């Protein structure tokens, strides 16, 4: 119960701090699922979005469906509907199209692990979004509690990446969509280098570059 209470408090602080970075009228892109269903608290990236809405900001959210397990389509859209936040579901490969056309003002995602230098591992596809944000001059934010930071890992290259089963790619709800026996690569996460991250939003404050020094000061 104590861990649950601490998590809930941390995610609420993250949500309030991050919401201050969101401007009225913005459209935000998010990836995977980072709301109460994922965190058992207020939420991290999604908590920030919902908090901004509750503060009266007129925002809209584009949700990557997040292949291959579709956490964005199945979970994030449901949570946004429950929170009455205007949202639009897109496939992962559509993100660059909308970013390039000026439809997205910022990107916010969570993180599963953060290295001492600020490199962040998150659901596969996050690195792509960070590069797109950098190329198109929009902020890319990571929202995560400080428990996600591993000071013993110097860079993201040391973070092990899980390789998941082929059927997640070749099948949708047990229905095959690919030729039988096809070779499949299915890494669950990728690592975003710290140079593409505008800021890391935590319950102990917003961390900005240079990350190694800032993370050391907080953790």
- Catalytic site residue from 112, 119, 152, 190: 112
Distance CA 114, CA 186 (A): 21
112 is catalytic: yes
Give the list of residues 6+ apart from residue 99 with CB closer than 8 angstroms, or none.
29, 132, 133, 136, 138
The token pair that represents 76 in the structure block:
């994030």
**Region of residue 96 (phi > 0: left; psi between -120 and 50: alpha; otherwise: beta):** alpha
Strand, helix or coil for residue 124: coil
Cα–Cα nearest to 72, from 93, 52, 102, 51: 93
Measure the CA–CA gap between 83 and 173, rounded to whole angstroms: 27
Strand partners, 176: 171
Task: Show which residues are catalytic.
Answer: 112
């Amino acid at each position: 119960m104590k861990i649950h209470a601490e998590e809930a408090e941390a995610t609420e602080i993250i949500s309030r701090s991050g919401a201050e970075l969101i401007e009225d009228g913005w459209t935000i892109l998010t990836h995977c699922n980072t709301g109460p269903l994922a965190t058992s608290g207020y939420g991290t990236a999604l908590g920030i979005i919902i908090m901004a809405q509750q503060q009266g900001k007129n925002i809209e959210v584009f949700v990557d469906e997040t292949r291959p397990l579709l956490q964005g389509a199945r979970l994030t859209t449901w949570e946004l509907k429950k929170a009455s936040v205007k949202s639009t579901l897109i496939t992962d490969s559509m993100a660059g199209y909308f970013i390039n056309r000026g439809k997205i003002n910022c990107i916010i995602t969570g993180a599963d692990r953060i290295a001492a230098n600020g490199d962040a591992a998150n659901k596969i596809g996050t690195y792509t979004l960070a590069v797109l944000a950098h190329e198109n001059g929009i902020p890319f934010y990571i929202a995560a509690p400080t428990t996600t930071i591993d000071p013993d890992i110097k860079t993201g290259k040391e973070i092990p990446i899980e390789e998941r089963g082929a059927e997640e790619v070749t099948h949708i709800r047990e229905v095959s969509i690919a030729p039988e026996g096809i070779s499949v690569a299915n890494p669950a996460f990728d690592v975003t280098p710290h140079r593409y991250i505008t800021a890391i939003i935590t319950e102990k404050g917003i961390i900005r570059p240079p990350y190694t020094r800032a993370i050391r000061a907080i953790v």
